[in-house]
Structure 1
Amino acid sequence: MITLVTVKLLKKIIYWKLSLQFFLITYFRNKLYDLGMIKSYSFNVPVISVGNLNAGGTGKTPMVEFLIDYFSEHYKLGVLSRGYKRKSKGFILASEKDDAKSIGDEPFQYFSKFKNIKVAVDNKRKRGITNLINYGVNMILLDDAFQHRKVIPTYSILLTDYSNLYFNDYLMPRGTLRESKKGSIRADSIIITKCPSNLSDVDRLAIKKLVKPTSKQNIFFSSITYSKELFSLNNSINISKLNGKQVNLVTGIVNSKPLIKFLKNSGLEINHFKYRDHHDYSEKDVIDFQGRIIITTEKDYTKLRKFNIKDLYYLPISVNILENENFLEILRDKIS
């Protein structure tokens, strides 16, 4: 008789075998790049890569926006993404005719929010960078590019979520790692994201010891700050005015727990409509959650606004990096 314990054991064995196969594939791929048997390319403009080892949920989008805010004042900036789950192919320079379906969720958010930069998508990063340079860009931000080794970045930033640190994780499908944790050696800076605001010096030191950075690597810690204002297309409302009220929270992201915690701590009563990351919303979805004030993420808002939903608001977030000036100084020195 097959018991629940037997099923769990069989599942664990299958996942272990699949993870071993995944390890071999990624190991030999990386080794071919390390040995120069697969060629990598560098460019004559600064290229900053933002990525992760864990699949999803490490805070790449707010980090890219942090870098956009800073560098767009000094460079003709271009952001390049593969455009995950987009319905199009090849290189696309974002324009007013595009939406989340044609260029992907995050690129569409960047394009909608920042009007002084170029945003493009291309699954072939080398080609995408070349095309952006031809459009007059003199600095590139690569979104979600840590595993894209065809390009040699000027500076590589590796993100890992405080609640799911990569060195405690396992390779897919047993865990969420896209490659061996040893791949972290390629990063110039490792940023521990979504840290609690009261993270102590002792905790930071303990994490640094676990990361075991090389002498050339820097480790930083960052946290997320939620706005006190909710925004819609033509309106805004201070979140304190919703104290004690029931709201519908709509999310299509990997980890909604920090957002839920923030809203509950702000006195809101939450009815959560949770969808898969990068969910493609439909009219049926809207029927399910409309009727109250609706709060969503900025990424989800870019896809939901086309439905003209009454009382739909998004909550902006921003990144705070401990030793922010030190981080930016190191980054400036590297790309100058």
Structure 2
Amino acid sequence: MKSLRKLLFPFALLYGAVTWIRNQFYNSGILSSRSYDLPVICVGNLNTGGTGKSPMIEYLLKLVSPKYRTAALSRGYKRSTRGFKLLRGNESAAEAGDEPLQFKRNFGNALVAVDADRRNGIAELLKQEPEVILLDDAFQHRKVKAGLNILLTSYGDLYTEDFMLPAGNLREPTVGAERADIIVVTKCPLKLTSEEQERIWHKLRLRNYQKLFFTGISYDENPRNADGEADWEELSTEGFCLVTGIANPKPLLEHLKGKDFNYTHRKFPDHHNFTERELNELKEENLILTTEKDYVRLKDELPPDKLFYLPIKVTFIKGKEEFDKNILDYIKEKEV
């Protein structure tokens, strides 16, 4: 792996130079970014995938949507449709993208839309008169200037310890983190010590205006299926197949590690579109446990009585109240 990185390093330097110049054009005003009168909150990362953007968007939807007419705008990665699409909730994952469809299923009162062109997506959403817009995975979309930028970085893969693509997983040089107002280290151990938090704080080299938070992943006590909450006993007694099509299934595997379960694991790439052959093979399984994102893709393809998922949520190590206050204060300031 190290030798391959060395071979790709010149290409990483070139890619990094191109993205740095692009950012400089936006910073200097040569390329224009559009800002908006209503609150626009961007959730993104510097690394490609696996930082927990979807759970954070759902956390924000849960926080904001009961108080404000809230819209979430995503790209709709790997969807079969193009352009702007406002979701009703009855679309397939192929039409809408798995994560946006999950948002709409869990927050039916929110406006959820997909559009690769974030500026066009916002223009279309404004016709629905939202009070707050959440941008999913839009940190590199400089044509839109969000009022509040939340940058995520995974505990096991800090952006300061990564390389530019294709030698590593960085989409842009680490100096891009300076655009963030809030930085969240995700997927931390829930018992992360204060000493470890301080060590990471020094590694990330935050600016004075930036705030740092640490979160982990918590799983619901029991799995769910189409009929509602299920019981682990059914899965553990009969045995099951764990199916994951996410960037990093390690936290889920660690969670299951402490339980005495008999299961096999079929791992697929992130946002995987299951082939007919793969679906037929899965239909032969006795019971299937998957992630909520994968459940959205599989629920219309597999028998509902054998398909289960385990919901996850963001858990703050500390500072939840401060984080919530930061979000709500920003929204109130934009109302004035």
TM bin, normalised by shorter chain, reads over 0.9
1:189-223 CA-partner distances (Å, limit 9, x unpaired): 00000100111000001110111111100000001
Contact 2:291/2:310 (8 A) holds in 1: yes
Distance in structure 2 (CA, Å) of the matches to 1:187 and 1:312: 39
1:4 matched to which residue of 2?
Answer: none
1:244, CA displacement in angstroms?
A: 6.6
Q: 1:155 to 1:99 in 2, by over 3 A?
A: same
Q: Deviations over 1:237-267 (max 9, x none)?
A: 2336645753200010011111012112122
* Match for residue 197 of structure 1 among 174, 185, 190: 190
CA displacement, residues 160-184 of structure 1 (integer Å, 9 cap, x when unaligned):
0101111100111111110001110
Of 295, 317, 328, the residue aligned with 2:312 is 317
Match of residue 3 from structure 1: none
Partner Cα separation in structure 2 for residue 241 and residue 85 of structure 1: 34
| Corresponding residue to 1:280 among 246, 253, 273 | 273
The secondary structure found in structure 2 opposite 1:163 is: coil
Q: Secondary structure of the equivalent of 1:85?
A: coil
Say what the alpha-carbon RMSD is for the aligned residues: 1.6
Partner-residue secondary structure (3-state), 1:306: coil
Q: CA deviation at 1:335?
A: 2.5
Letter in 2 for 1:159: L
CA distance in 1, matches of 2:286, 2:199: 45
Tell me which moved more, 37-46 or 122-131: 122-131
Distance in structure 2 (CA, Å) of the matches to 1:186 and 1:220: 16
Distance of 1:21 and 1:244 partners within structure 2: 54
Which of the residues 293, 305, 314 maps onto 2:287?
293
Which residue of structure 2 lines up, in the alignment, with residue 305 of structure 1?
Answer: 299
Offset of 1:269 from its aligned partner?
Answer: 2.4
Task: Give the aligned residue type for 2:324.
Answer: L
State how far apart, in whole Å, the 1-side matches of 2:116 and 2:5 are. 33
1:33 aligns with 2:26: yes
Q: 1:255 aligns with which of 235, 244, 248?
A: 248
Change (3 A) 1:274 1:201: same
Deviates further, 242-251 or 315-324: 242-251
Compute the displacement of 1:8 (Å).
Answer: 6.8
How do 1:1-336 and structure 2 match up within 5 A? 9=3, 11-96=4-89, 98-239=91-232, 242-243=235-236, 246-289=239-282, 290-309=284-303, 310-321=305-316, 322-336=318-332
Aligned-partner residue type, residue 325 of structure 1: E
Query: Percent identity among equivalent residues?
Result: 40
- State TM-score, norm by structure 2: 0.94
Q: Is the 8 A contact 1:228 1:238 kept in 2?
A: no
- Tell me the TM-score normalized by structure 1: 0.94
Deviates more, 1:20-29 or 1:239-248: 239-248
SS of the residue aligned with 1:272? Answer: strand
Indicate if the aligned counterparts of 1:240 and 1:266 stay in contact, CA closer than 8 A: no
Tell whether the 8 Å contact from 1:232 to 1:312 is kept in structure 2 after alignment. yes
Distance in 2 (alpha carbons) for counterparts of 1:26 and 1:221: 28
SS in 1 for 2:266: strand
Matched residue SS, 1:159? strand
Q: Answer whether contact 2:64 2:70 (CA < 8 A) is retained.
A: yes
User: Aligned equivalents of 1:291 and 1:98: distance in 2?
Assistant: 26
Cα distance, 1:38–1:187 mapped onto 2, change above 3 Å? same
Mark the CA change 1:235 to 1:12 in structure 2 (over 3 Å): closer, same or farther: closer
